[in-house]
Amino acid sequence: MFWLLSPEWSPACETKAVRVLVAMSGGVDSSVAASLLVEEFGRDRVVGATLKLWGGSSDSGCCSVADVEDARRVADQLGVVHHVFNFTAEFEERVVAPYVDGHAIGRTPNPCIECNRYLKFDRLFDRARSLGFDAVATGHHARRMTTAEGRHRLIRGADPLKDQSYVLAMLGQDQLARSLFPVGRLTKAQVREEAIRLGLRTAMKPDSQDVCFIRSDEGRQGFLGDRLPLHDGRLVDDATGEDLGPVEAVELVTVGQRRGMGHGDDGRRRYVTAVDVPARRVRIGTPEAANASGVDLHTVTWVDDDLTQGAGPGECAAIAQCSAHGRPVGCTVRPDGNGRLAVTFATAQRRIAPGQTVALYDPANPDAVIGSGIAA
């Protein structure tokens, strides 16, 4: 496949003046994204928007009062209009509630991906359209490229250590056609250099690392404990069924976890292989037992066409990435006829926790996302 690595988008590509709404989280990436857009389109064509998502207290992520203030002050410095959109009800319904409900049944949802799916690239896009904007920009480290045929592709960011294509792997043609990722062509060091050059207040602000609606002083246990009953349970040997002791809260344990699972008689670390919340049992085993040859995916999305269609017996090659910074692995994907995909890894991988996303990349161009799905 031939890839046209042209600029993401420029005014010369359009016959009308382009208006861009840039999502400003209060971090350095979205601040620099806004500044680059102002340079390209002019400040009268760029408007900043910060999403108020979480109605509770926050000291991390991108939902704190300080983050909103940082975004507003950067917008003022750039000379662009800044809005705050209140999406707290949608965030609770689409992100927080499913996160809690997932843990209640032994699943481990990825709230950042669901926020992108339902809030930033759905609800925000609808708001932008209603306000007459032509495109929405974010500070994600990813790139949007266009083929010679005019199809849009999602490409890894230029900085491999900061690449965020994994958390955008659910995007399709409709979203990509109206998306801009201005910092995707830059390394993180270059982003900070640009922010310093412009004197932006966010230039040296640390990156967000945690789930935005969970405070550091409460952690998952405190947050989930306020929203659902947590039950103690038992650790069970995966091979023998032997009872190995207590576990404080089965709802907080995730498949693949090793922390808190101790060691076997041979001194090797033990890993979680399965979580059965109704039975209050967590199965643990050796590193080999914690590996799997594949995973089934639901909620499957494709960046472009469904690549399993017309691929021989319905099976095609891909590259799987099973976490935000996981090591990519070759695989084959095959539809099961019920809207799901069966993924078989070239080499066994650590079991994927149900609820986690698997991003799929093109073997012919390993930087290009072709689709994604959620582990069943």
The one catalytic residue in 63, 112, 212, 331 is: 212
Buried b vs exposed e over 161-188: b needs ≥16 C-beta within 10 Å? ebbbbbbbbbbeeebbebbbbbbbbbbb
310: left (phi over 0), alpha (psi -120 to 50) or beta: left
Sheet harboring 20-23: ordered strands across?
81-86, 46-52, 20-23, 135-137, 179-180
Identified catalytic residue from 112, 115, 316, 322: 115
The closest alpha carbon to 2, from 149, 143, 144, belongs to: 149
- SS3 string of 3-15? CCCCCCCCHHHCC
- What DSSP state is assigned to residue 111? H
Contact 50, 24 (CB under 8 A): yes
Report d(CA 252, CA 107) in Å as an integer: 9
CA distance 311 to 66: 50
107 vs 255: CA distance, rounded Å:
8
Nearest CA to 375 among 86, 146, 113?
A: 113
* Phi then psi dihedrals of residue 19, to 5 deg: -115, 130
- Is the distance from CB of 351 to CB of 277 less than 8 angstroms? no
Q: Does residue 212 have an active-site annotation?
A: yes
The residue behind tokens 């494709």 is 302
115 flagged as catalytic: yes
Contact 369, 302 (CB under 8 A): no
How far is C-alpha 369 from the chain's CA centre?
13
Q: How far apart are CA 369 and CA 142, in angstroms?
A: 10
**How far is it, in rounded angstroms, from Cα 23 to Cα 133?**
12
Which of the residues are catalytic?
115, 212
